[in-house]
Amino acid sequence: MKPRFSIANLCCLNLVLILPSFAAGQEIQRPPITGFSHVTFYTTLPDAAKHFYADLLGLAPTDHSGAYRVGRQRVEILAENPPNAPSLLANIGFATDNAERLRRYLQSRGVQVPANTEKDKNGTRWFEVKDPEGNRIRFEQIKSKKVQNAKALSSQIIHVGFLVHDRTTEDKFYREILGFRPYWFGGRSEGHLDWVSLQVPEGRQWIEYMLTDKDAQITPERLGVLNHFSLGVPNIKETEKQLQARGWTANTRSHTQIGRDGKWQLNVYDPDGTRVEFMEFAPTQTPCCSPFTAPHPSASN
């Protein structure tokens, strides 16, 4: 007996055949990237690094060795030999609300990604890629509450800077694919570009290209200046006083000043020479070179 199909059955059959093809062709939307989850550097002096981050900066150690809490974020210091010495920058972590969807989104845009996301014991899902210049970039899906710590000099990583040779190539990754937004750019002198700041797509924290010619000779000391992170504070003078009370002494490399972006800042250096830049959230003077084109971070975001 030949099977009989009603119009209703034929319509249903068509839907079964068509829907999978339609779903497979849907464009994957990028999930939000809201800010930094962490920044990680290597250290060759773990005991001295612990004193610097825990005692001097007042950051509370986490359950993981070498990790220190900064509000919702963390600074990680790895007591390992850096594979790309003299660079001590290990990886930069960004927070997202859906790591797997972000992995698939990046894959759809031609970025080389791992086959799956990882899952830590605490439930954090994450994966890691490399940007065009080889920096390890990690994306984390983590639910963490802001930790109140009266001893900490800061409760927020507001920016991370790193050496960049080719701005155009990096822009294709951070701006065109990830959706980072222009924040400010400037240089040590008028007409010369040294720094490009891009905010995360759904937040106010930013990355900073530290532009350097490809043929420039970069010493380990200079690399420690270029690859750095910044802690936001409401008042630099007060931060300086607290540091001095804990035994820190200003010198020619470390002193308060107003940067070219019009913000008060104070550079200190960990035992391995990595620069930790304290910076006020908003400028007190008109910046050089370009106006700010996005809202400033604050202690509450």
The pLDDT score that the predictor gives to residue 26 is 75
Give the SS3 label for residue 209.
Answer: strand
Which carries the bigger pLDDT value, residue 34 or residue 252?
34
Domains and CATH numbers, the chain: 33-280 (3.10.180.10)
| pLDDT (tens digit per residue) in 256-270 | 999 999 999 999 999
Q: Which of 94-98, 109-113, 297-301 is the least confident region?
A: 297-301
Site of tokens 């059959």: 13
pTM of the predicted protein model:
0.90
Distance CA 54, CA 67 (A): 10
Distance CA 276, CA 89 (A): 13
The pLDDT score that the predictor gives to residue 64 is 84
| pLDDT (tens digit per residue) in 52-85 | 999 999 999 998 889 999 999 999 999 999 999 9
Average predicted confidence (pLDDT) for the chain: 91
Name beta bridge partners: 95: 35, 140
CB-based burial of residue 6 (10 Å sphere; 0-12 exposed, 13-18 middle, 19+ buried)?
Answer: exposed
Contact 261, 296 (CB under 8 A): no
In the structure, what pLDDT confidence band is assigned to residue 193 with cuts at 50, 70 and 90? very high
Query: Which residues of the chain form beta strands (DSSP E)?
Result: 33-42, 60-61, 67-70, 73-78, 89-96, 118-119, 125-130, 136-141, 157-164, 181-186, 195-199, 206-211, 228-233, 256-258, 264-269, 275-280
Name beta bridge partners: 31: none
| pLDDT (tens digit per residue) in 228-244 | 999 999 999 999 999 99
